[in-house]
Structure 1
Amino acid sequence: MSKELPSTFKLLTVWLLILTGVFLAVLAWQHQRERPRFTLNERELRLQRGADGHFHWPGHLAGQATVFLVDTGATTTALPRALAEQLGLHPLERLRSSTAGGVVDGYAAEVDLRLEGGLHAERLRVAVLPSLDAPLLGMDVLGRLKFRQHDGEFTVELQ
């Protein structure tokens, strides 16, 4: 008597393998799309606009790898409360901040910031906000740089 598996089980196994391969390919594609895209040479750093329409600048906060959303409309660099707590940041003072979603209560903190391209700020004062989705790199940092936006690129001149 042959101990061969039923053909429906074989067919189901083949389909499960195919679907697993497709699923893994989609995950890899999404990861590639969401990855910050930038080029760096001795004179300038160029960020390519992401799939979400924003520029993303990789860096570090208190030594932890972080990807910042470049926000030329933000006065201050701002962090989500969950990230600030993870980094162990301590509140310096309470603050109210006007955001696109309205006025929110948060607090000020200080953190060391390092961005790809060799840019850094020690003990940068940041706003910590409860409902923020991602760290925002604001004009308190960007205003110190010579940058331009054109055709889906954000270019920073390095000095």
Structure 2
Amino acid sequence: MQDFPRALKIVTVWLLLGTLVFLGVQAVEHRRTQPEFHALDGTLTLRRSSDGHFHWPAVLQGPDGRLEVEFLIDTGATRSALSAAHARRLGLPEGQVLRTATANGEARGHLSRVDLALTGGLRIDRLEVVVLQGLGDQPLLGMDVLSRLRLVQDGSRLQIQPR
């Protein structure tokens, strides 16, 4: 059997090297976008994500099951908010209908309650949340939860302690 032509060998080697570099860059980017947590002596430290925001993973529990989500920490939000899709998946009951002002304008929604367990040990049962139609997949962690904590931002790090 005849060997591969020299040019085909060179192209194959370059394609393999290119694939390895591509996969390496993808792995670094994936790691960079994941929330980073450190817990030490009751202090939780979050690292700012590549989108410029702080994210906090959590588990939501409703009548129809549990859902793992990643909250966007939103100090401008009075209440924590979930999408209507998340509320449906959890089987959350619809409470009082309301209109609220958001960064994207006025939104319609309703109140509901959910059990919240944030990574790092903070748990709030029956937290009243706003369920919004157009929120998308990123729930918001508002001041109703954040005001219970001591927050200290130092550049790209956010230190969180219970009050």
- Tell me which interval the TM-score lies in, with the shorter structure as reference length: 0.7 to 0.9
* Alpha-carbon separation, structure 1, partners of 2:134 and 2:17: 39
Identity fraction in percent: 46
* TM-score, scaled relative to structure 2: 0.83
Match of 1:116 in 2: 119
| 2:134 corresponds to 1:135 | no
Match of 2:22 in 1: 23
- Residues 112-159 of structure 1, C-alpha deviations (whole Å, 9 max, x = no match): 100122111111111122332411100111112222323333222236
Please state how far the C-alpha of 1:6 moved relative to its aligned partner: 4.1
Larger CA deviation: 10-19 vs 71-80? 10-19
Match of 2:157 in 1: 153
Please state how far the C-alpha of 1:36 moved relative to its aligned partner: 0.8
Can you give the 5+ residue segments of structure 2 that lack an aligned partner in the other structure? none
Q: CA RMSD in A?
A: 2.1
CA gap of 1:94–1:8, structure 2 versus 1, over 3 A, is: farther
Match of 1:78 in 2: 81
CA gap of 1:147–1:91, structure 2 versus 1, over 3 A, is: same
In the comparison of the two structures, how many residue pairs are matched? 158
Q: SS of the residue aligned with 1:118?
A: coil
* TM-score, scaled relative to structure 1: 0.85
Q: SS of the residue aligned with 1:141?
A: helix
Asked if the contact 1:45/1:158 (under 8 Å) is kept, the reply is no
Match of 1:68 in 2: 71
Asked if the contact 1:42/1:158 (under 8 Å) is kept, the reply is no
- Residues 80-115 of structure 1, C-alpha deviations (whole Å, 9 max, x = no match): 233333333332232212111100112222211001
Larger CA deviation: 14-23 vs 30-39? 14-23
* Alpha-carbon separation, structure 2, partners of 1:17 and 1:82: 42
